[in-house]
Homo-oligomer: A and B are copies of this chain.
Amino acid sequence: MTIDPRSHTPVYVQLADLLRQRIKSGDFPPGSALPSEARLTQEYGIGREAVRMSISLLRTEGLVNTVRGHGSHVRDAPERRQIELLAGGSVIARMPTSAERRTMQLNEGVPVIEVHDAHGAVEVFPGDEVELTRPEQD
């Protein structure tokens, strides 16, 4: 599968689809580096902006991380610690505020989980590190 500049779907979406597939197929396993922007630009005969937009898309999907001067790497499947949702509690998912992003050191494309307990207290957790559970009755 290649990229068709005359297609109705944008070039950067086509490239993102292509890279996403190569990640899923194991062509780019977790931890591995994606080709550099310059490499992808040449490889597919497209502009750098299209390349950057496609990688940005993958970042916001939580699939890759990018480090300036280093490159983009496929994220590892996160380990999640289990947290019990107590009786009378509730939980919502949302994107972090910019302040939360900084203080919790969250990557792009990582939501937060907001837990409200029975007394109105609120706690916020990184969405890629926790799994909320409700135990079986016993």
Asked if A92 is an interface residue, CB under 8 A from chain B, the answer is: yes
Asked if A98 is an interface residue, CB under 8 A from chain B, the answer is: yes
Interface size class of A (residues with CB under 8 A): 35 or more
Nearest 10 pairs between A and B by C-beta? A111-B111, A93-B93, A93-B127, A90-B133, A88-B136, A62-B95, A93-B111, A91-B132, A85-B134, A95-B109
A–B pairs, 26, beta carbons within 8 Å: A16-B98, A17-B98, A20-B98, A60-B60, A61-B95, A61-B97, A61-B98, A80-B92, A82-B90, A87-B135, A88-B134, A88-B136, A90-B131, A90-B132, A90-B133, A90-B134, A91-B131, A91-B133, A92-B130, A92-B131, A92-B132, A93-B111, A93-B112, A94-B127, A95-B109, A95-B111
